[in-house]
Amino acid sequence: MSEPAASRLLVRAEGSVGRITLNRPEAINAVDHGMIRGIADALDAWEHHPDIRLILLDGAGERGFCAGGDVRALREQILAGEAEAAMAFFRDEYALNARIAEYPKQVVVFADGVTMGGGIGLAGHASVRLVTERSRLAMPETRIGFTPDVGGSWLLGRAPGRVGEYLALTGGTMDAADAIHAGFADHLVPADRLGDVRHALVTRADPDTPTEIAMLFDETPEPGRLAASRAWIDDAFAADTVAEIIARLRERPEADAAATADLLETQAPTALTVTLAAVRSARGLPDLRAALAQEYALVEWFGRTQPDLVEGIRAQLVDKDRAPRWQPARLHEVPAETADTALAFRPSVPLWS
């Protein structure tokens, strides 16, 4: 039996701040369906509550805000033929991602420590996104034969230059400076000052101006690795195809460019191909909801038609042998129409009614 959902989520009012804490520190606060529903219920209860003026979302423990969703459970559902149950989770998760972005009261998130995958879906669309010197943000889905979701393609499509393509295809990890540069975060606050920020939000007379409060503790970081690497990233990742991106990386003199080419050659060819197209498509979509709808269709396409998702989760998180057997195994074996087919896929149940 799993623990009750209530114990995995701490929901309470602190002054005029509605505080929601992910409470699975042993799993770096990975979210399950019950937690997604619990957050949504809290937002519903507080939306029109006259005493709640601001929402604060954080995570228990010091390892991270949220390591993502439970993809092991997703694999088990796919293998058991329970695709509908899996898609129900994604419907609720994506609805929550959109709700955070559209919420009428400001939502502040402490993206301290590991914040990846589903954690980006909770943190990346908030009003005020704080990171610390411990923060490590990423959308690592291609490493399990999948594609960035939870609105990740929307954020990636709006990153400067070709940073979005780079982060999407490599699953690269961002520190605080990188996250701010890429548009995934707003302010760097030292981890030992988060308590002071929280105290200020709770005790100040104007808690609905959290940006001004965050600025009191902001420590603007020095330019990070991403900013310093923009020349070769923007050059290589502007290429039309993944194969051409790798070829351009091989032509660059930077050691990091060569290492990136090596990494891409180990990733799932189908996931890379579809992800490149998805990020570029999201760049032209009108809003987050449209991007989430595109991602939702891709989730079902991967789950129903592609063996790589199950295999990638096995290799990275179940058996942990780090030796996935991708199908197909090489980029040149991916059918030319794959990306178009994936983006044209229509889910069995629409995301938005």
Which residues are catalytically annotated? 69, 118, 141, 149
Sequence-ordered list of residues with C-beta below 8 angstroms from that of 134, at least 6 positions apart, any chain: 62, 112, 113, 191
Structure tokens at 128: 């005020």
**Residues 99 and 40 sit within 8 Å (Cβ to Cβ):** yes
3-state secondary structure of 12: strand
Closest CA to 176 of 215, 217, 218, 133: 133
Cα distance between the two ends of the chain: 33
Alpha carbon of residue 162 to chain centroid? 18
Half-sphere exposure (Cβ direction) of 162: Cα atoms closer than 13 Å: 18
> CA 135, 263, 129: angle at the middle one, nearest 5?
20
Query: How many residues belong to the chain?
Result: 353
Q: Is 332 exposed, middle or buried (0-12, 13-18, 19+ CB in 10 A)?
A: exposed
Provide the pairing of β-strand 107-111 with 128-131. parallel
Alpha-carbon gap, residue 320 to 315, rounded angstroms: 5
Write down the H helix ranges in the chain.
33-47, 71-79, 83-102, 118-123, 152-157, 163-170, 176-182, 194-203, 210-217, 225-228, 230-236, 242-251, 255-264, 269-283, 288-305, 308-313, 338-344
Cis-peptide into 328, omega within 30 deg: yes
Q: What is the DSSP string of 103-153?
A: -SS-EEEEE-BEEETHHHHHHTTSSEEEE-TT-EEE--GGGGT----TTHH
3-state secondary structure of 240: coil
